Each structure stands twice: as structure tokens, then as C-alpha cells.
Structure 1
Amino acid sequence: MNRVVLSVLLVTLATLNTYGTSIDAKNIDRVVMIVADDLRCDVLGCYGDPITRSPNLDRFARQSVVFDHAYCQATWCAPSRTSMMRSRYIDKAGPTLGEVLQASGIRTTRVGKIFHMRVPGDIIAGTNGQDVAECWTERYNSPGQEAHSPGHYACLNQNIFTGDLADRETTQTKHRAYVSVELDNDGRNQPDYRSASKAIEWLAEHRDEPGFLAVGLVRPHYPMVAPREMFDHYPMQQMSLPLVPTGDLDDIPSPGRSPSNSAANGLANYPDNQRRMWAAYRASVEFMDEQVGRILDSLDDLGMAERTMVVFTSDHGYHLGEHTFWQKSNLHEDVARVPLIVRVPDGKPTRTKSIAELVDIMPTVCEALSVPIPDTVEGTSLFPILADPSTQTKQSALIIDGKGNRKHFCLRSEDWAYFRYHDGSQELYDMRIDPEQFDNLAGDSDVADVLDLLESTLKTKRP
């Protein structure tokens, strides 16, 4: 590689710039944070998808700063949400965001799933899961029937279709990740509708108070439940499947191959059901989007929008057949990348390519509410980027998969995605020319200098 190019890359990866803020946090009385579950950003219209109906998030995006390169720090629910709410890459050191805000006299409220809850288990039972009680002044769960909701049920990897309520896949059963339900009703009995309704009620009751409201929606996490009319928007025959080239898995090391793959879970036998998975996922996203719209509309109706910062994101992305993989717990882009949309009073709507991480949300909320940021925080406030989208507060994101002594790491810079697995195996992708991550360059001598640089940078970043 040209040494000048390498020097530029070295500076890009190693330098951390700090910038001033021109957005006045004094104009912000409250923060509303909405977290979807298992939502990949590329199914939203505002992230370029022409098929999924997401009019509310698309409208919100036109009023906000949209982050095109935001990444989770863990690739499944529990560690990702812990990381986000403590601004820690891998451990539980330090206080939660809610505890920090309460120490400054700010009311903190949870509605739905913010810390980890088993979906569907804790949702059906209406229990708190791994929630941290100290984080909240008050908290509310939103129970629902999930896969037991009346309607047309499908277990797609088993090719089962029925309207019967008996013998459906549910909590901790083997095939629950491939279940959809086309509701016989408009979804008012669903957990996300209830969460939105409670959030609206809370906003009306506390319209004159500063506060932090976190609303956790469980869709599009399985079971993919939505009104039948939303399923009708996505005919199975019109759903395209991701390209999987012949031999696609040949250059992916064993630790990088998802155990939830088409051959193992049975979906390889049912190509049409793979399309139905896409249809059900999109219908669930549309239902989630409708609830987001209800919350945003309430801020307008109550006259609160002009002094409220709103953050929308997800705990991680999701595989829907890329590389034959399904679900999460994987370092590839479809899982690591998340939607992140932030609206601030007096802010200018725009998009940014600046790298952001979910650990950045806690210091951003603290700055918005004029609360000191704890020393334990490992993220960086996004306010410099909100003020100037060309600002770069960090040069790479760190994503972690696995646990114990079998942790795997991804370093995602603007141009490169580098994976290092616990056994020393590697993946390297040039995201400028290979955004679908088909060509693993880890063994290519032409990029050996880049690989060495990324590996040494990862050593300085990873916990």
C-alpha cells in the first residue's frame, strides 16, 4: 500500500478531535428515548428502503440528524442494553443513566423494555426481566399475548400455518424465532401499543416537568406480530431475498458462521417462507413505526416538542438471510449497524457519516439535561456532531460478540470492517467497494499494512 495513504489512514484511526457545541442545551427540558428491538436500519424508508412503510420515522428523520454510521457495542439484547445504559463497552462498572439523572433531581421513567427482558417470556408474564430498578423513578411494563394472540399463525422454518391457538411456539421453545402472527384486530392489545399509550399518558401528566422518558418497543423482535392489513402491504411474492454468492461462507472463519443459518434452522427447505420472514419483519416494523408516530404526535399536541430532545435507536441489527444467517449475535454489518436518529430543539435536519456508538447516548442525554457526565462513561457526547455533522468525535466503533474467553471483536472505521475472533482468525472488508461483506481480505498481501494497523488499533481499544 502507498505509504502516504497509510499515513492518512493512521492519522484517521488514531486521532480523536474534540469540538465545541453551538446547540444550547438550556432549550431542552426533557429527553424522550425510544428503543426498538432487533431493528436493522436498512428496512426504514429514511435509510433508503423503498418497500417498508415507515412514514412516522421518515417524517421524524426529516426533522432530525440521521446517523448513517451508528453501531451497537454488543450483538444481542442483554449486553447491548447494559452497555447503552451505563456507557460501558463490556462491563457494568459505574452508575446507570437513570441514577445519574436522579442524582440531579430529574425524574426518570421506563415504559416497556429498556434493559433486557425475555421476548416473549417477560412480555407475556408482564415481569421486569433484567431491569435495574435503581435506574428509574417509576417503571411500567406492557404485557401482551405475543404468539398466542388470535390470528393467522405461522412457524415458517417448520412450514406450519394455522389459526388454532394450541401448540404455538412460545417462551424458550426451539423455533420461536421464526414465528409470525397476522392479527385479527388492530393491535390495541399488543405490548407496543400499550407502551405508546402509557408514554402519551405520562407526557400529559408531566408536561411541565423536566424528565427522561425511555420507551422500549419490542417489535420487530420475534414473534413478528402485527395487524393483518399491515401484512397485506408485503405480498410474499414481492419480497426479494439477499444475494448469497456460491461459496460465500468459504472465507468466513468458523466462529463467524452463525449457528442460526438456513441449513440448520430448516429455512433452506422453504424459499417462499424466507420471503414470508421478510414480509413479517416489515409488517412488524410498520406496526412499531405507527407507535413511534403516536408518541411523536403527542409531543406536538401537548406543545412539548420545541423543548424536548428525542432519540430513536435499536439495541442491534438483524440478519434476514444474508450469508444464509438469521437473527443476531454476529459481527457482520447487518447486525452491528443500528439506526440512530436524534432531534434537538433548534437543530438543523441533516445526515452525518460520523461514526457513533450506543455508548454515546448516555453522555449525550447528560449534556442535554445539563447533568455532569460521570468519569465511568466510555462514550462521547454526540452534541458536537448534532451542531456540525462533519465533526468526527471518534474514528472507529468497537463491537463485541461472545462472552468469557470466547469474545470476538469488530473494529469498524469509515472504510474498513475488521473482525478478530477468539481463536485468532480474522475477517477484513473494504466497505467502500464491498458493503455486503462478500470478499474477506484478511489473507490478501496487498492490504497487509491496513490489517496490521487495524489489529494494533483494536488492541488499544478493546477492554
Structure 2
Amino acid sequence: MNCDASMKSQTQSLFRLSRVVPRTLLLLMALLAVLLLTERATLAANEELPKIRNVLFLVSDDLKASVLGCYGDDVANTPNIDRLASEGVIFRRAYCQGTVCAPSRISFMYSRYRGSRGKTIGEHLQDHGLYTARVGKIFHMKVPGDIIAGTNGRDVPECWTERFNSPGLEAHTPGDYACLNLNVFTTELEGRQSTAMPHRMFVSVRYKGDGSDQPDHKSATKAIELLRQHRDDRFFLAVGFVRPHYPMVAPQQYFSQYDWQQIQLPEVVENDLEDIPAKGIPRSISSRNGIDQYPDNQKRMWEAYYASVTFMDDQVGRVLGELERLGLRESTAIVFTSDHGYHLGEHTFWQKNNLHEEVIRVPLVMSIPGYEPGETDSIVELVDIAPTLCDLLGLPIPDSMQGVSLVPVLKDKSATLKEGALSFAGGTSWRTDDWAYMQYNDGSEELYDMKADPKQFTNLAGDPEHQATRERLFRELTSRLRAVGLEEKAGRR
């Protein structure tokens, strides 16, 4: 019987009863009927939402949000991530907590701003019957060191039912090698910058091959194998890709998609570093690492980075394609992100480990069955991923997790969950809707109006006209640090 027929029948019954049942009891019975119909409607609505059984967690390494097509880059060729984004929710203002690999990965796997406490998300899901597996780099691994050796790095074994590494030759891959800050180009295998060597960050290798010998291809292949093996299980499959982390190694066909001569380098203004405190300037800047002598090689760095990103994107596509082929798409939540962003010459900065926007802002895409695709400017943090997964799976969120579930934003893209985001690197960043405020451990500060100055060229921390804003942001930062138990990180004034 449908809801309309049920309502008609119950109304007729109530009319007959009205002649013999006291008015108060009649009203109670009418209220009960309405509640029953409401419950049925709610159950029917819930049945329309697909039941999420599984999680596919995809993590890139050193990937800045701004180089993906779905984040507005018109040079990058990233069709698979872009397609995932078109089917999911793009978080345009997602921020990491750690600005290098190890602390960032700990933060999102434990949902803690600093350090580890409680259980990892993998342990928690195991406790509730899920198979958990790691393929590639999820917790910190030295790249290239642990990749060449095929070792586990700082992995947390309790997090996984099974774990698998994806070794590769990295800079020692035979092919066209370059160390771009030294202006070295060779095919010789001897003398290449590799593990723990000072110029390894500027290495690229292009070579002839299909990519199947590379770590990310191996990770995708293993992930596909595990999807087939565990298609009938509830699973949490975490796949960690190492590109575009240096050394930027990819087959020639990926480099050929980009012409370094056509690449436009980031805008750098004269005397840009003069208003940035010493603590805000990373060790690797163009005038120190030598790449300022080779402007063309700066463009080649971008070419190699783009090539590595596109190669990684292809591996993401292989895994997503198998998930769909196996019929698991409608029962699997997919999350794609990176541990932190990266500098490629902005402000003459290179690499990471600082508090500027190109480093702290990360890509975050969630494609969740039953939730409408779209974009959101809601400020979110990587610590929010684990609580969101618990919520989507219908599991309790452990008390040790400090992030919040992003399900309200998945439902309503305009929802706001937090005033700002915290990031850490020799100090603390407080990123709000309109402002970026950094306070370093020596008390020095940076302040940027992100509406008027999104590239962060003018530090307003010492501007008398902006002292009220600076004081307000300092108070907000201090309050937030206390709320998450990090009083010792509150700055000195």
C-alpha cells in the first residue's frame, strides 16, 4: 500500500473512532499516525542514498593544487583527476597542517594537528571489520631513498591488514638525466644526484619506456589487483603515489606533452623578499641554489613537474577505471589529495616547508556516491579527512581525532565549519576567508590581504592601518591553538 492509500485508510479509521473515543485519545492517535508516516518517508529517502561500504584513498606527493586542470591550470593535462573532480566535490580552500611529508601524513592519518595520539584511521576501520591496505607511500618514506630500497620508511604497520611497497630506480633510471640548478645534462649513470645528495631536488629523467618500471605504475597495478581480490569485502585501500616528488622521472611521451619554451614562469616582483622576515624565507631560494643563473632551466623544472603530474594522473585513471569496471563505484567513497603544496619559483622559493599559500594549500577532491558534485570555498583541513570517512561509513568518530566531518559541506557546498586553518613550519599560519596571518617562533609576522593580494606580495604586518586586523587574527590564532591543546605554539608578542 502506498503512502496516499495508507493516509486515506488511517483517516477513515480515525473518523469512525471519533464517535466512541475521547477527544484527547483521538488527538494522540492522530499524532502517532503522522509520526509513522514521517518515519516511513524518512526511511524511503534514506534508502535512495547509496550505502557506502568502501574507501579508496589516493594521495599524491608534493602536489600543489594550482597545477591541476580542475583547479584552474590551463597548461596541465590531468584528465583523470579532472573527471573525478567533475563527479565529486572540489574543496578549493583545503589546507595541510604539516608542510613537509612526515608531519603532514601523520596529521591526516591520526586526525591530529601535531604528533600522533590514539589510533590511526586504518586501525579504527579494522576494529569495525574493514580490510585495510597500503600500496606505496602513505606515511612518510624517503624519496628517493626508501623507494630505491623498497623499504617501509616511517610506516605504521598496525594501520594495515596488508601493505605493499613499490620500488624503482628513480634518478638512476637510464635515460636523459638533468640536474637543472647545476645545468648538467647527460645520459651517463655515474655521478647522478640521488639519496641524501644536496641537489637531488632539481633532478629530472626522461626516458623511453611505457612507465611500467616506475613506482607509481607499480602502485596502480597492485591497487588494481587488490580491488579484484577484495571486491566482496569492505575495504579501505590507500594508494600513495610518489610523483611529482623529485626526482621527476617519467617516460618521454609525458615530457613531450609540454614545451618548456612556452611555459610562463611565476611573477616575481622586485625586492619581493625585503618585507618577509628571515623565518619566512626557506633555505632553497633561487639566489642560493643556483638556478637563478639558468632561467631556461626554471622552465624545464616546470616541464618536468608537469610531466610527472600527468604520469601520476594516468595511474589514478587506471585505478579509477578498474573500480568502475568491478561495479564498486556506487559503494565506494573516493578521496584524492596531497600531503602539501610546492614552490616552483614563486617569490624565488623552491620546494616546501614554509607557510605561504603555494605550500599550505592542497588539492582535495571527494567523490561520494549519493552526494551532488560541485565546488566549495569552505575552509577545511587535512585533519578533517579521517572523521569524514568515519561519518560516511556510519562509524563513530574516535575522541582522539581533532578534525571534523565534512559531510555537512558535501550536502551544502555553502556550509561553513571553521573560521580558519592551521599550518606549521617554524611558526604557525592562520588562514581565514580573507587573510593569511603567520607568526613565527621568534615573534616575527606576516599578514596578507588574500582578496587584494592573493599572490602575497605585500606583507601588511607592520602597516599601522592594519594593526587592528593583525591583533584580531593573533587572538583568533591563539584561541584556536589552545582549543586543540597546542598552547605552547601560541606566539610571543
Q: TM-score range by the shorter chain?
A: over 0.9
Distance in 1 between the 2:301 and 2:309 partners?
Answer: 12
2:256 is the alignment partner of 1:232:
yes
Q: Quote the Cα distance in structure 2 between the aligned partners of 1:91 and 1:258.
A: 23
Quote the Cα distance in structure 1 between the aligned partners of 2:208 and 2:432. 46
1:300-379 alignment runs, 5 A limit:
300-379=324-403
Distance 2:337 2:413 in 1: 18
The CA distance in 2 between the partners of 1:198 and 1:347, in whole Å, is 29
Residue 387 (structure 1) aligned with residue 406 (structure 2) = no
- Residue 291 of structure 1 is aligned with which of 295, 312, 315? 315
1:68 Cα deviation after fit: 0.3
Q: Distance in 2 between matches of 1:286 and 1:227?
A: 11
Match of 1:418 in 2: 437
The reply on whether 1:455 has 2:474 as its aligned counterpart is yes
Query: Which residue pairs with 1:434 in the alignment?
Result: 453
Structure 2 residue identity aligned to 1:443: G
Query: What is the identity, as a one-letter code, of the residue corresponding to 1:211?
Result: F
The answer for the alignment partner of 1:182 in structure 2 is 206
| 1:18 matched residue in structure 2 | none
Tell me, in whole angstroms, the C-alpha distance in 2 between the residues paired with 1:461 and 1:422.
17
Residues 83 and 91 in structure 1, CA contact (< 8 A), matched pair in contact too: yes
> How does 1:158-173 map onto structure 2 within 5 Å?
158-173=182-197
Larger radius of gyration: 2
What is aligned with 1:242? 266
Aligned counterparts of 2:219 and 2:46: Cα–Cα separation in 1: 31
Q: Runs of 4 or more off by more than 6 Å in structure 1?
A: 22-26
* Residue of structure 1 equivalent to 2:41: none
Aligned-pair CA distance for 1:23: 8.2
Cα deviations by residue, 1:279-331 (Å, 9 ceiling, x for unpaired): 00000000000000001111111111011100000000000001100000010
Q: How far apart are the structure 2 equivalents of 1:183 and 1:339?
A: 28
Q: Quick check: 1:134 aligned with 2:158? A: yes
Could you tell me how far 1:447 is from its partner in structure 2?
A: 1.6
- What residue in structure 2 maps to residue 270 of structure 1? 294
Q: Secondary structure at the match of 2:213?
A: coil
Equivalent AA in structure 1 for residue 341 of structure 2: G
Contact (CA 8 Å) 2:50, 2:369: kept in 1 or not?
no
What do residues 68-98 of structure 1 show as CA deviations (whole Å, max 9, x unaligned)? 0000001000000001100000121111111
**Aligned-residue CA RMSD (Å):** 1.1
Change (3 A) 1:23 1:446: farther
Residue matched to 2:277: 253
Partner of 1:42: 66
The answer to whether the 8 Å contact 1:319/1:325 transfers is: yes
SS, match of residue 212 in structure 2: coil
TM-score, normalisation: structure 2: 0.87
State how far apart, in whole Å, the 1-side matches of 2:285 and 2:256 are: 27
Aligned to 1:453, the other structure's residue is in SS state helix
Query: 1:328 & 1:267 partners in 2: Cα distance?
Result: 16
2:34 counterpart residue number: none
What's the CA shift for 1:366?
A: 1.1
8 Å Cα contact 1:219-1:285 kept in structure 2: yes
The answer to whether the Cα contact below 8 Å between 1:23 and 1:383 also exists between their aligned partners in 2 is no
TM superposition score normalised by structure 1: 0.93
AA at the equivalent of 2:170: E
Distance 1:183 1:296 in 2: 26
Answering whether residue 469 of structure 2 is matched by residue 445 of structure 1, we say no
| Aligned partner letter, 2:55 | V
Query: Counterpart of 1:394 in 2: which secondary structure?
Result: coil
1:90-109 map, 5 Å: 90-109=114-133
- Provide the secondary structure at the position in 1 that maps to 2:282: coil
Residue 32 (structure 1) aligned to one of 18, 35, 56: 56
1:113 maps onto 2:137 in alignment: yes
Whichever residue aligns with residue 62 of structure 1, its letter is: S
Aligned twin of 1:85? 109
CA drift at 1:107: 1.1
Within-5 A mapping of 1:206-217:
206-217=230-241
**Cα offset, 1:26, TM superposition:** 6.2
SS in 2 for 1:296: helix
Could you tell me whether the CA contact under 8 Å between 2:129 and 2:234 is conserved in 1?
A: no
Unpaired runs of at least 5, structure 1: 1-21, 403-407
What SS class does the counterpart of residue 354 from structure 1 fall into?
coil
The offset of 1:201, in angstroms, is 0.7
Deviation at 1:445, TM superposition (A): 1.6
Deviation string, structure 1 residues 201-230 (Cα, Å, up to 9, x no partner):
100111111110000000000000111111
Amino acid at match of 1:445: P
1:23–1:346 Cα contact (<8 Å) kept: no
Task: Specify whether residues 346 and 43 from structure 1 end up closer, same or farther in structure 2 by C-alpha distance, changes over 3 A only.
Answer: same
| Partners of 1:23 and 1:387 within 8 A in 2 | no
- Once the two structures are TM-superposed, the CA of residue 258 in structure 1 deviates from its matched residue by 1.1
* Superposed displacement of residue 446, structure 1: 1.5
Q: Number of residues paired by the alignment?
A: 437
Separation of aligned partners in 2, 1:205 and 1:365:
22
Equivalent residue of 1:62, what SS?
helix
**Unmatched segments (≥5 aa) in structure 2:** 1-44, 487-493
In structure 2, what is the Cα distance between the partners aligned to 1:217 and 1:382? 24
